[in-house]
Amino acid sequence: MTPTSKKKKKQPIIDPDYKPFIILNDKLQVWVGLINGGREAVFSDDFDEAKVLGYEEQFVHVCRISDGHIMKDYI
């Protein structure tokens, strides 16, 4: 490698399907995770604890296991 040649940096692969969002329930609490082996959704009043998701399949899964109305808020 000569001193004048530059090493090319690898560009990160950008997934066009990834669109970050958080999940809110009907009490405007944010989704923070799962308990009981992924069978129960946990929500919190603290927005700093919100987990960011990015795929529709993740939202559909949380819809199935949550009790009540939920919505997503894109960030």
What dihedral do alpha carbons 67, 38, 58, 47 form, nearest 10°? 70
Each residue's pLDDT, cut to its tens digit, for the chain (75 residues) gives 556 666 777 777 788 889 999 999 999 999 999 999 989 999 999 999 999 999 999 999 999 999 889 999 999
Contact residues for 7 (Cβ-Cβ < 8 A; gap 6+) = 1
Residue 29 to residues 9, 14, 26, 56: CA-CA distances in angstroms? 41, 30, 7, 20
What b/e string do you get for 25-39 counting C-beta neighbours within 10 Å, with b at 16 or more?
beeebbbbeeeeeee
